[in-house]
């Protein structure tokens, strides 16, 4: 019987031995889990702070964008393209220099009322100008000069016209 008691003590020792390791394992699991939760909570808190700061930055940028759009609209209203200059060029065949200069001067004088008009208003202008200048005639230096419009270009604040000037007859004939 002496052998059975020692066998029982030996089994109890093995059970205590496993209980000890199992309890150490459970304590390690609990401490590790607590550490992971602490680390995860810390990371989550940092992300929440970053999210809040990004929301504030986003809100500020939206306000800046809205104010920039308003400023741009106001600047665009102030800066509507207005015709400030009328440029006339005479295409081939070029008449005598005096006639060319006088035709340019008279055309610029005739088209002067277009200065100060908005470029958007002048979108329908080319057909109208073609009709007006289809057979415009000037008497210059005793010569009848017929002016015909070839092209109309509106660039920024400049109205550019290209015309032909044909001397019909000499006043000396």
**Cβ-contact 133, 106 below 8 angstroms:** no
29 and 60 fall within a common domain? yes
End position of a domain, from candidates 79, 104, 127: 79
* Tokens (6 digits) for 82: 């207005």
103 and 161 fall within a common domain? yes
Domain, as residue range, for 92:
85-169
pLDDT along the chain (173 residues), means of 10: 65 81 93 95 95 94 92 74 82 78 86 79 72 78 84 80 80 47
End position of a domain, from candidates 26, 50, 79: 79
DSSP output for 116-157: T-BTTGGGGHHHHHHHHTTTEEEEETTEEEEEEEEEEEEETT
What contacts 9, CB < 8 A, 6 or more positions away? none
pLDDT at 112: 84
Instruction: Order the strands of the 136-140 sheet from edge to edge.
Output: 85-90, 158-169, 143-155, 136-140
């Amino acid at each position: 019987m002496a052998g059975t008691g020692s066998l029982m003590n030996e089994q109890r020792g093995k059970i205590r031995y496993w209980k000890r390791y199992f309890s150490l394992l459970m304590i390690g699991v609990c401490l590790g889990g607590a550490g992971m939760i602490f680390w995860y909570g810390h990371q989550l808190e940092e992300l929440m702070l970053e999210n809040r700061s990004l929301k504030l930055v986003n809100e500020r940028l939206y306000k800046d964008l809205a104010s920039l759009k308003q400023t741009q609209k106001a600047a665009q209203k102030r800066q509507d393209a207005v015709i400030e200059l009328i440029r006339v060029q005479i295409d081939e065949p070029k008449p005598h220099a005096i006639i060319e200069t006088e035709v340019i001067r008279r055309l610029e004088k005739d088209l002067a009322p277009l200065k100060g008009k908005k470029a958007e208003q002048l979108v329908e202008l080319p057909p109208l100008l073609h009709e007006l200048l289809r057979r415009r005639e000037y008497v210059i230096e005793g010569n009848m000069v017929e002016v015909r419009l070839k092209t109309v270009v509106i660039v920024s604040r400049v109205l550019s016209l290209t015309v032909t000037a044909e001397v019909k007859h000499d006043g000396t004939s």
